[in-house]
Chain A
Amino acid sequence: MRHLLSAADLDAAEVGEILDLAEEMALVQSRPVKKLPALRGRTVVNLFFEDSTRTRSSFELAGKWLSADVINISAKGSSVSKGESLRDTVLTVASMGVDAMVVRHMASGAPLQTARWFAELGLGVHVVNAGDGTHEHPTQALLDAFTLRRHFRAQDPDRPDALAGRRIAVVGDITHSRVARSNVELLTTLGAQVVLVAPPTLLPSGVGTWPVEVRHDLDAVLGEVDAVMMLRVQRERMSGGYFPTPREYTVGYGLTRARLGLLRPGAPICHPGPMNRGLEISGDAADSAGSLILDQVAAGVAVRMSVLYQLLGGQDDADGTTGALR
Chain B
Amino acid sequence: MTQADDEQGRDVLVLGADLAGRGPADLLIRDGSFADPADARPDADRVDAAGLVALPGLVDLHTHLREPGREDAETVETGTRAAARGGYTAVLAMANTNPVTDTAEAAEHLLGVASRVGSAQVVPVGAVSKGLEGEELAELGLMARSAARTRVFSDDGHCVADARLMRRALEYVRAFDGVVAQHAQDPRLAGRDACCAEGELSGRLGLPGWPAVAEAGIVARDVQLAELTRSRLHVCHVSTAETVDVLRWAKQRGVEVTAEVTPHHLLLTVDELTGYDPTFKVNPPLRSGEDVAALRDALSDGTIDAVGTDHAPHARHDKEHAFVDAAFGMLGLETALAVVVETMVRPGALGWGDVATRMSSVPAHIARLPGQGRPLRVGEPANLVLVDPERRSVVDRDASLSLSRNNPWHGRDLPDPMVATWWGGRRTFTRS
Give me the interface of A with B, judged by CB distance under 8 Å: 78-80, 85-88, 105, 107-110, 112-113, 116, 132-136, 175-176, 178, 181, 204-207, 209-210
Name A110's closest neighbour in chain B (CB-CB): B322
Contacts beyond the supplied A80-B325, A113-B277, A209-B200: 18 A-B pairs with Cβ under 8 Å: A80-B321, A85-B317, A87-B321, A105-B322, A108-B276, A108-B322, A108-B324, A110-B322, A110-B323, A112-B276, A133-B206, A181-B206, A204-B203, A205-B198, A205-B200, A205-B209, A206-B202, A210-B204
Contact B320 A86 (CB under 8 A): yes
| A80 CB contacts on chain B under 8 angstroms | 321, 325
Contact B322 A206 (CB under 8 A): no
Name A113's contact: one of B204, B209, B317, B322 (CB within 8 Å): B322
Name A109's contact: one of B199, B200, B323 (CB within 8 Å): B323
Q: Quick check: is B111 within 8 A (CB to CB) of the other chain? A: no
Distance between Cα atoms of A108 and B321 in the complex (Å): 11
Contact B201 A107 (CB under 8 A): no
Contact indicator per residue, chain B 181-206, by CB within 8 Å of chain A (1) or not (0): 00000000000000000111111111
| A109 CB contacts on chain B under 8 angstroms | 205-207, 276, 322-323
Name A206's contact: one of B201, B276, B317 (CB within 8 Å): B201
Name A136's contact: one of B199, B206, B318, B325 (CB within 8 Å): B206
Considering the complex, which residues of chain B in the window 301-351 have a beta carbon less than 8 Å from any beta carbon of chain A?
317-318, 320-325
| B198 CB contacts on chain A under 8 angstroms | 205
List the 3 closest pairs (A to B, CB-CB), nearest first: A109-B276, A206-B200, A107-B322
Distance between Cα atoms of A188 and B220 in the complex (Å): 42
Contact B322 A79 (CB under 8 A): yes
Distance between Cα atoms of A112 and B276 in the complex (Å): 7
Query: Given known contacts A85-B317, A88-B317, A205-B199, is B206 in contact with A112 (CB within 8 Å)?
Result: no
Name A78's contact: one of B201, B209, B275, B322 (CB within 8 Å): B322
| A135 CB contacts on chain B under 8 angstroms | 205-207
Distance between Cα atoms of A205 and B203 in the complex (Å): 5
| A78 CB contacts on chain B under 8 angstroms | 321-322, 325
Distance between Cα atoms of A206 and B202 in the complex (Å): 8
Name A112's closest neighbour in chain B (CB-CB): B276
Contact A133 B324 (CB under 8 A): yes
Distance between Cα atoms of A204 and B207 in the complex (Å): 10
Question: Which of B199, B202, B204 neighbours the largest number of chain A CB atoms within 10 Å of its CB?
Answer: B204
Distance to closest chain B CB from A90 (angstroms):
10
| A85 CB contacts on chain B under 8 angstroms | 317-318, 320-321
Contact A108 B206 (CB under 8 A): yes
Distance between Cα atoms of A52 and B276 in the complex (Å): 23
| B318 CB contacts on chain A under 8 angstroms | 85
Distance to closest chain A CB from B215 (angstroms):
16
Distance between Cα atoms of A181 and B283 in the complex (Å): 26
Considering the complex, which residues of chain B in the window 260-280 have a beta carbon less than 8 Å from any beta carbon of chain A?
275-277
Distance between Cα atoms of A80 and B325 in the complex (Å): 7
Query: Given known contacts A88-B317, A108-B276, is B323 in contact with A113 (CB within 8 Å)?
Result: yes
| A110 CB contacts on chain B under 8 angstroms | 276, 322-323
